[in-house]
Structure 1
Amino acid sequence: MNVVVFDLETTGLSPERDGIVEIGALRIVDGQVDETQKFETLVRPTGEAGQPLLIPWRAERVHGISNEMVRGAPGLPEVLPEFLDFVNGWPVVAHNIGFDGGFMRVHARRHGLDWTPAAEHCTVQLSRRAFPKERAHNLNALADRLGLNFAPGGRHRSFGDVQVTAQAYVRLMERLGVGV
């Protein structure tokens, strides 16, 4: 199966109130993570009416993305069409697809675009199926369980999280006996 693994970093937890500050994505082609087919960009966040949003210190503390870093970045009106072209209707994978997919649906609709991947797969749910006796299924716990490592400075940055999520997806599908 061919899928696009993606991750977002945001200004907060509410798709309606908060903005996207980074998008990272990789393709898995014929069951292999293809790091040559990637999408990675910072995004200047905006609110529902297009007004600039500041990155709260709590969010910056998690992902390390500052207002200064996104000041010259493109906004979602430029980034979303490019990202949707990259996805190209393929099935998508995210660690906690409800969060990332929810942000994509709200923000695509806000910009007159459709978020319509062929399917949405969640590595949290796959982890729960593969490791039913484990309590923690966050990305750190899953990476540890599967022997995966984040690149230095990669945790809580979109592309670093995507690299581990993509590898985890392949290993989870193998463990569950499902062809990738």
Structure 2
Amino acid sequence: MSSTEYVVFDLETTGLSPERDGIVEIGAMRIRDGQVQPTEIYQTLVRPTDAQGQPLSIPWYTQRVHGISDQMVRHAPTVEQVLPDFLDFVGDAAVVAHNVAFDSGFIRTAARRHGLIWQPARELCTVQLSRAAFPREKGHKLDLLAQRLGLEFEAGGRHRSLGDVRVTAEAFVQLMQRLELTRSR
């Protein structure tokens, strides 16, 4: 892996549409010189709002996935308040996510709504990297990838942004090493 700096990030949301749904949690962790930097993290709950800035309720079915309730985000900052800090944390690093199009789409939409720009230097997707590293495997969900690479989620960490980020970051490092070895043969 090159000396490039990466920021691995993950969002939890109220649903699947960047236009209609809101962000309820952002987590991120830095990778530098091929090493996960466990102390260089960004994490916050977010009080979700719609395109007009009106509060959004977290539907019961998404609460069942990530465990984040309206009560938990009642006093959290809005995306408008946290986005500048998150963008500063990312800086000019390349970004990585498991299904980067989903997470990046939410950030891009929120940034546009608030007069900010989300234009990372590069976007890398661990789903795509997993497909390249394990072309014979059918499934590339984060749980399957973690299992394949011998990674474990911390208790209560699955489907929470920072828990997913920790596993995605470790998976990214292993995938990049695996793919570099494959290319050098």
Unpaired segments of 5 or more residues in structure 1? none
1-structure distance, mates of 2:107, 2:75: 22
1-structure distance, mates of 2:114, 2:79: 8
In the other structure, the counterpart of 1:65 is 68
1-structure distance, mates of 2:41, 2:84: 15
| Mapping 1:1-180, distance limit 5 Å | 1-177=4-180
SS at 2:80 equivalent: helix
Normalization by structure 2: what TM-score?
0.95
C-alpha deviations, 1:38-87, integer Å up to 9, x for none?
Answer: 00000000000000000000110000000000001001111000000000
SS at 1:33 equivalent: strand
Alignment check: 8 A CA contact 1:89 1:116 kept: no
Q: CA deviation at 1:157?
A: 0.1
C-alpha deviations, 1:95-137, integer Å up to 9, x for none?
Answer: 0001001111111101110001100000000000000000000
* Number of equivalenced pairs: 179
Q: CA deviation at 1:89?
A: 2.1
Cα RMSD for the two superposed structures: 1.0
Normalization by structure 1: what TM-score?
0.98
Unpaired segments of 5 or more residues in structure 2? none
2-structure distance, mates of 1:72, 1:27: 27
Identity of aligned residues (%): 67
Could you list the runs of 4 or more consecutive aligned residues of structure 1 that deviate by over 2 angstroms after TM superposition?
none
